[in-house]
Structures are given as C-alpha cells and as structure tokens.
A and B are shown apart, each in its own frame.
Chain A
Amino acid sequence: MNKLRNYTLTVLVAVIALTFNACKKDPVAEVPEEEISKAELTFLEVEREAHDDHFHYNPIATATPLTITFDAQGLAPVGTHAHLTEGKTYKLTLKSYDFAGREMQQEFLDKHDIHQAFILGAPADVMTYVYADRDKDNKKVNVGVTGYLTVDEHTETGFTFRYVLRHLNPGVKAGITAANWNDASFATKFAGANDLDLKFELHPVGAAGHAH
C-alpha cells in the first residue's frame, strides 16, 4: 500500500512539475492610451463677421495665441490668471496628449457621437460659445475640440473657467444641442463620465485694458 501511495504521489508531482507553466511573466510596459497626460487650451483672437444668420471667423495676422497648459492632474500652473478682452472673439482649441506624449484629441472627433465639451464657470451673459467641429461630410458635430468664444462683457474679478470634455453614454448626445454648451446641470442631464475637467482663472477685461 505504501508503495502504491508513494508511486502515485511521485507520478502526480512529476506531472505537475512538467506541465506547470512555471512562473509569472515579466510585466510589460503598456502605454495606457485612455489616459491623458497633458492638455492645452489655446485662445487665438479672430475677427467675427456677421453673415446672414451666422458668423464667419476670419484670422487676424498679428494675433498671438494664449496657451494654458494643464498637467497630468488637470492643473494649470500655479498663479495662472488669463485675460481676454471684451468684445473680441477667440478661437478656442484643445490639444490633448497621451502618456507617450502623442496628440490624441482627434479621437474625440472620431467618436463625436459620444463626446461633447461644456464651458462653464462664467457669470451670465459674459461669454458666448459656438462649436466649430465638423465631420468629413462637413456636418456640425458639436464636440468642442475647436470652437469660437466671444467675450460679451468684462468682469470685475476673475472666475474659474471650466472646460469639461464629457464621454457620454450611448444615445445621450441625441438629447443635447449646441445651446447646452454652458449647461451647469450637465452631470444630471447628460449621463456619462468626464474625459477632461480643466479649470483655470479667467478674467475678461474692458476694451481699454486694465492694470492689476
């Protein structure tokens, strides 16, 4: 009996030792492509020209862009306080980078049916935003990677400008229009999760300029 026992045990142990796909594999460095390591919002002044029921936005040769860079935590550099001028219109563009440093904002446009940006934080009537993204058939897709922000009024102090690029649940975008660009209850009304939540202090100033 003992011999049988030992024999069976030996065979089993041997079988395991031979078939066992020994150890854990070395971990592989994988770039998490969903993760965004850096984002930039750029304000570039443009000339807004009324044309029938819509506007044309023409470039201004001498305009210099104002770029705010947000780190991997979504924070702008400490002490950021940006000025925009009342009455002017700015082209607002988003650039975002993955963990390998590659630009990836095109992905938001490629999946425009589940992405939309919301621009929040401004007091009433201070700003107007228009989505400018179009798909390959030149149809408006209302994503918010490119848009035009018009400063209608100045404010006495700065406010927290918040740019949220939201990943919407299936079917939700059908219930959102371009007029919802500053809908503060987006979290309740438009189910999903934020891909980007960028904040910085913005201060729209009068045309005559001001001193701090």
Chain B
Amino acid sequence: MPGRLFKIITIVPFFYGGLLFAQQVPSDTLKLEDTVKLEEVRIKAKASAVSRNSVSSTLSQQQLDMSRGAALGDVLKAVSGVNVLKTGATISKPVVHGLHSNRVLILNNGVRLEGQAWGAEHAPEIDPFIAKRMHVVKGAESVRYGAEAIGGLILVEPPELPEGPEVRGELYATAASNGRSLATSAMLNGGVSVWKGFGWRVQGTFRKAGNARSADYFLGNTGLGELNYSAAMGYKTAHSAYEAYYSQFSTTLGIVYSAHVGTREDIDARIAAGRPQENYGFTYDITAPRQRINHQLLKLKAHYDFKDHQSMTVVYGLQQNHRKEFDFRRGDREALPITDLVLNTHTLDLDLEKTLPSGAKRTYGFNGLLQVNNNVPGTLANTFIPNYDSFTGGVFAIQKWPGKVFDFEAGLRYDFKTFDAAGFRFLTDQPEGASDQSATDSNQSGDSGAAGVSEEYYGGQSQFHNITGSAGALWRLNQSWHLTSNIGVAWRAPTANELFSNGLHHGAGLYEIGDPSMKSEQGYKWINAIKHFSGPLTFELDVYAQLIRHYIYSQPDLSYRQTVRGTYPVFRYRQTNASFVGADLSASYRFLPRLSYQVNAAIVRARDIQNDRYLPYIPADRVDHSIKLELDVKGLQESYIQFGHGLVARQHRYDPASDFAAPPPAYHLFNFIAGTRYAIGSRQLGANIGVENLFNKSYKEYMNRYRYYIHDMGRNITLRLNYTF
C-alpha cells in the first residue's frame, strides 16, 4: 500500500500545478521559459506512536496546557482509568487500572525509563514540560516493549524536530498558591539555513515550591526544587533520519515531617489524633528527610528506509539515575544519605519493518538492556537493596493486517533476563529457629564486637525466561461505532527489594522481608473498548479483565520483629494469583454549540485469588465530570470557562490485616478553570487560571500512603501563561 500511495502523492502536485498553471497563462502559447519546475513533494506517513489495535488515550497539547506545572502523575490523571499513588504532597506515581511502579512501563522519548521504580515513594523522573503529547496504552504491551508493561504503557512524546531554519519557541510560566510555587519552562527550536534537514531543540524547566498546605494546616517540609534541561539534534534525508537527545532531570523534594514515625504505637497515636499535633509555618527550606535525584538520558536514533518497503530503526539509550535519600540522623550524619544508589542502564532497540505485498506490515525486533546498580559507599547505613548487574534480551515479531473494516494484529516475543546481586548488611540476630533468607549465597556470622549482631553477605543469581504474545483487532462497524479488542500477555521480573529486603521500611512502620526465590510475574489482560462518535455524543467505554500469575506484594506475616527501637510487624513479599477487573468511561456531550459536558469514571475490582483477600492500595471508584462553556470574546480565541466536580467513593475492598486504619470516607472536590488565547500574528499568548479544591475541603485520599498522618491538599489557585513564537 505505501509504495502506491507514495507514487500517487508525489504525482498529484504535478497534476495540480499543471492545471493551475494552465489556468493562469492567458496566452495560447506556452514558452519554455514560462514553465515552472515544481519541487518534488514527498509526504511520508509518520507511524503513529500507538497501534490502532490497542486501547489507548492521548493527552493533546491543549489538555497538557491545562495542567502545566504539575508532576507527571497528576497530569495523567486526566485520562479515565489512570489514578495516582501519592506519598504526601510532593510525590505521585501514575496508576493504570490499579497497577503502578514496575507494572506500568514509562517511555521517555521512546526509551524505557529506568530508575528505582520499585519504590512506592519514587516518582517518575520525567519533566512533563518536554511533552507535546502523552499517550496511555491500557493493555499488556510486553510484545512490543518488553518487560513491565503489565497494566499499561505511558509514552511521553516531545515535539518533532523542525526541518526549517526559523527559530521558534515556547515559554511557560505557572504560579500556584498552594506551596507558593513557580514553574517556568522555555523551549527553542530551529534549523540551520545552510544545512537542510537539520533541526535542533533546547529546553529547560525550573520549579520551586515551598511547604504545601492542607485545608487547615501547613505540611512541614514539603518543599520541592527541580531543574531540568534537554537538548536534541536531528537530521533527515530522503531515506534516513538521525536523532541525538540528551536530557537531565534533577529534583530535591522534602518528605513531610509528620510522617516520621517509628512503631505501630506511633502510627496508631497519629491515626487517633487525626492530624499532626505540631504546627509548621511556610518556608521554602527543605531539610531531612528528603530525596535528591538526578537522572540523565542520552538517546541516539537512526532510521533508514530501504527499497522494497523495508525500514530499520536503531535506538541506543544510556541512562544514569542517581538517587540519594536523607533521613533524620544523629551525630553529624544528617548530611550523609541513608541510601545512595547509582543505576546505569544501556538499552539497544532494533526494529526492522517490512510492508508485504498484501499490505500487511511485519515488524521484527530486538531489545537489549544492560543494567548495573551500585550502592555508593560512605552512607554509614545498611544497604536497602544490593549491588546488581542484569542483562535482558528480547526478540519479537509482530504482524499487522490493516483493512477497511477490520484491522488485526498479532505478536510473539521471547525474553531472557539474568540478574546477579551482591550486598552486605549488619543484622541483629534472628530469633532462634527462624530462617528468613531461604536462599543466600553465603551467610557468614562475624563477631563485630557487639553481641547479637551478625554480618550478612546477601544476594544471588537468578534467570528468567518468558514468552509473551498479544493479539488485537479493531472493528469499524460504521462511521460512528468502533470496537477494539486486545488480549496480551506481559511479564516482569521481581525487583531487588522484593527479592532481598530484610529490614525496617522507614516511615512505613514495618519490617520487610523479601524472597530471593521468587519467579517472574505474568499478566494476561483482555481489554475491550467501545467507541462512539457522532453528532453531539462521543464516548469510549473500556472494559478489562486481567489475571496476574505470581503477583508479588508484601503481606502481613502476623509475626513481629523485636528491635532496640521497639516491635514492628513483619511483612513478607510473597507471590499469589491476582485478578484485576474494571471499566473506564470517558464521554462528552455537546448540548449547545458552546456548551459541553464531559465525564470520566473508573472502577477497579482487584483480588488476591489464592488467599481470598483484597489487595492493598487499589483505587476506589471515582467520577470526574465538568461543564465547559466556550466563549466568543472579540480579539481572543478559544476562550472557555469550565466547572468540574469529582467524587471519590470510600474504598470498602481492603484487608484490615494489611492496613493500619480503615480507608477514609468518600469526598467531593470542586474545581474551576478558565482560559483563553491571544494571537499576535504568528505568535500566540495563552493564559488560564484554575482552582483545584475550590471550597478548600479537608479530606484524606486512600491512595495517599501518608493519609494516616496528614490530610490531602487544600485549595490551589494556579495561573498559567504560555507564549508560542
């Protein structure tokens, strides 16, 4: 299909040019010097980032402009079925259909984001300002992308590099009242006039916020500082394209003081009190406990178009994630991190695409990943996860059969992963008869000069093999009804903390123990989407069912670990079979030419099937809806006012043994946003002002791990300006 299309498209301009020319020349003779040679026009279809046979949602530039200044997790909440797992006010992670962390793969400009994602309080290291579009693919997408896309996939797409020489840019400035924060971002792109096909882009973002405020009180030590920048260069020729991209993301964020607790006694006391007993004021200062993360990414990409409708893409990625976590410490040690991890990852992705004579498209690919994690010595604290190196290699084949009524796609993949870990820690002696590490390479007891303390070298080697597959179809019933169905298998290997934890999980009041013998998880997901678009009503209903075999989560052991600080309940990482079933609805109805109503609703029903128990931290049912009035203001474009309401139900599906307190009650939140755009020639100035939690409601959110100690955010008024030139 593409070959013929190319020919048609390149010939058409000649035809039209000829016709136009014929009309313009009044004389009946055509002189040679009057002929105009038309430039050849090549239109290349750009492959969509997301397959039509998957169920996905896209956040456009306009939608992203309404949430500029927010962290990635909060930006993605606008997609039905996506929630956030929060840790206090400053940290949020996206949750897709009840799954998060290592079960949702995030692609940063086409490269897998590799950080210490296993931590519930480790937010993704991506600057949302870089994105022109974000896609959320809600299916088991391992075949194309490899491990960890069990719940879904998030693609953050920066803008395309320009090919023309003019310098263009965008400036953003946002200011928000809660946290008295400021976020500014600037982007410039252009080309070089003497070098056709070359484009460049530079971009940078600065964010600073002080203590956030719940409805009634400030949250001590919840400031944030972020500095990110990126640079990209690209070169396109008729048959190839090259790109180099570098980005740096660095952030410091404070962990709320009130979440610093020790044993269950502290936690129960805080829960009984309902809110912090101490008062903090506003400051931009961030002290311990805090996190400092620096993430660098280098991407090199080459794409070649060959004859016979074949093309090849090679992408090499190099990432370094340096994470330091600081806690309250005695002596002079507060300036030393308690955890200092450097994660280096090389990725190499190779795909070969071929369009068959029948019109079907076949892709073969290889994805390789080499990763090394090292603890930086000098922390004077036990390591939480070991040093490790790991190699993952996968090969896949996908074939797409596009059609007028039916599109069909199927794929198969094989992955192989090795994992080799070695760590050291001091442990207090285990109680007699108990053996916590079922498989450690060496377990030496050393006399360190103190009774009851032993040295432990921990770690081991593991290997994982996985075969995954997927099949998807799109049925265009008619102009206004589409049906998509996708069934896929995805996998992920257990993470270092799930394998090797053996210690106090600070701030969670638990003693966590891993299991080095765990197998990889396998998720089978079947998702169906019904889409309707005609006239005033547009909706999409996604319904899914997922079975995850060997699902890993930490469960209460119903035993206690006695330490010198007190007694802690023991939680062990175990594997079970889990089911996730749910539905997302996203609909909009246009009442009048200028008045429309939008609604997003999502429900998730998850269960630990083997132990007949509810799983922790599954989002409660929620509905978000809004009414938007488009205004016609002289001199301005796209002016609108929007009022919104959100209802989050109480979560009844929880396991009391896994939780310190019952989930908080249901709550309603109201919001408002108004925006407009002013054009000055080819330049645009956009502005919007939004208020979240309009009535300053005091509430607690079940998906906030610090809800035992603090309430969620109070009213927040944000002014956003953007200038495009």
Seen from chain A, the residues whose Cβ lies within 8 Å of a Cβ on chain B are 1, 4-5, 8-9, 12, 15-16, 20-39, 70-75, 97-101, 104, 107-108, 110-111, 114-115, 167, 169-172, 175, 185, 187-189, 191-198
Contacts and interface: CB of A to CB of B under 8 A. Distances in A.
A2 to B, nearest CB: 10
A134 B328 CA distance: 23
B448 A24 contact: no
B383 interface: yes
A24 B459 CA distance: 12
Interface in B362-381: 370, 372-375, 377-381
Contacts of A169: 220, 257-258, 260, 278, 328
B564 A72 contact: yes
Contact of B563 (A4, A31, A74, A167): A74
A8 B381 contact: no
Contact of A24 (B316, B382, B422, B425): B422
A115 B425 CA distance: 27
A71 B380 contact: no
Nearest to A171: B278
A21 B372 contact: yes
Given A16-B348, A37-B450, A100-B449, A192 B424 contact: no
A132 B424 CA distance: 40
Contacts of B372: 21-24
A1 B304 CA distance: 10
A197 B350 contact: no
A140 B272 CA distance: 33
Contact of B314 (A12, A24, A70, A195): A12
Interface string B274-292: 0011111000000100000
A187 B265 contact: yes
A22 B390 CA distance: 11
Contact of A74 (B344, B370, B389, B565): B565
A114 to B, nearest CB: 7
A175 B280 CA distance: 13
Interface-centre pick from A15, A71, A196 (highest chain B CB count, 10 A) = A71
A24 B331 CA distance: 31
B257 A170 contact: yes
Contacts of B423: 27
B488 interface: no
Interface-centre pick from A16, A34, A110, A114 (highest chain B CB count, 10 A) = A34
Contacts of A37: 428, 448, 450-453, 564
A191 B330 contact: no
Counting from the closest, the 8 A-B pairs by CB-CB distance are A193-B262, A101-B449, A72-B452, A37-B450, A72-B428, A188-B269, A74-B564, A187-B269
B126 interface: no
A72 B377 contact: no
Given A12-B316, A188-B269, A34 B277 contact: no
Given A37-B450, A188-B272, A194 B262 contact: yes
Contacts of A191: 257-258, 260-261, 266, 270, 276-278
A72 to B, nearest CB: 4
Interface-centre pick from B263, B312, B379, B426 (highest chain A CB count, 10 A) = B426
B697 interface: no
A191 B260 CA distance: 8
18 contacts: A8-B302, A16-B346, A23-B372, A24-B420, A26-B387, A27-B375, A37-B453, A38-B450, A72-B563, A97-B450, A100-B449, A104-B330, A110-B331, A171-B279, A171-B280, A172-B278, A188-B272, A192-B261
Given A72-B453, A191-B258, A193-B261, A32 B380 contact: yes
Given A21-B344, A37-B452, A27 B260 contact: no
Chain B interface size range: 35 or more
Given A16-B370, A197-B566, A100 B450 contact: yes
Contact of B278 (A24, A30, A175, A187): A175
Contacts of B566: 74, 194, 197
A33 B389 contact: no
Nearest to B220: A170
Contacts of B302: 8
B388 interface: yes
Interface-centre pick from A12, A31, A35 (highest chain B CB count, 10 A) = A35
Contacts of B221: 170
Contact of A32 (B280, B382, B387): B382
Contacts, number: 207
A102 to B, nearest CB: 8
A12 B348 contact: yes
A115 to B, nearest CB: 8
B98 interface: no
A20 B346 contact: yes
A194 B263 contact: yes
Given A24-B372, A24-B373, A197-B564, A187 B266 contact: yes
Nearest to B377: A28
A129 to B, nearest CB: 20
Contact of A30 (B258, B276, B277, B380): B380
A115 B328 CA distance: 12
A101 B261 CA distance: 26
Given A24-B389, A111-B330, A196-B564, A71 B452 contact: yes
Contacts of B328: 114, 167, 169, 193
A34 B330 CA distance: 7
B448 A101 contact: yes
Given A31-B426, A110-B330, A73 B562 contact: yes
Interface in B397-452: 420-426, 428-429, 448-452
Given A34-B380, A193-B263, 19 more contacts: A16-B316, A16-B346, A16-B348, A23-B372, A24-B422, A30-B377, A30-B382, A35-B426, A71-B451, A72-B563, A101-B448, A107-B330, A108-B330, A111-B331, A175-B278, A187-B269, A189-B277, A191-B266, A193-B565
B259 to A, nearest CB: 10
Contact of B452 (A21, A73, A111, A172): A73
A35 B453 CA distance: 10
A33 B426 CA distance: 11
Given A35-B382, A100-B450, A111-B330, A27 B565 contact: no
Contacts of A33: 331, 333, 380-381
Given A34-B333, A197-B565, A24 B374 contact: yes
A9 B304 CA distance: 13
Contacts of A114: 328
B457 interface: yes
Contacts of A25: 374, 387
A155 B457 CA distance: 49
Contacts of B448: 31, 37, 99-101
A30 B387 contact: no
Nearest to A167: B328
Contacts of B257: 169-170, 191
Interface-centre pick from B328, B333, B422, B562 (highest chain A CB count, 10 A) = B328
B329 interface: yes
Contacts of A1: 304, 306-307, 310
Contacts of A20: 346, 370
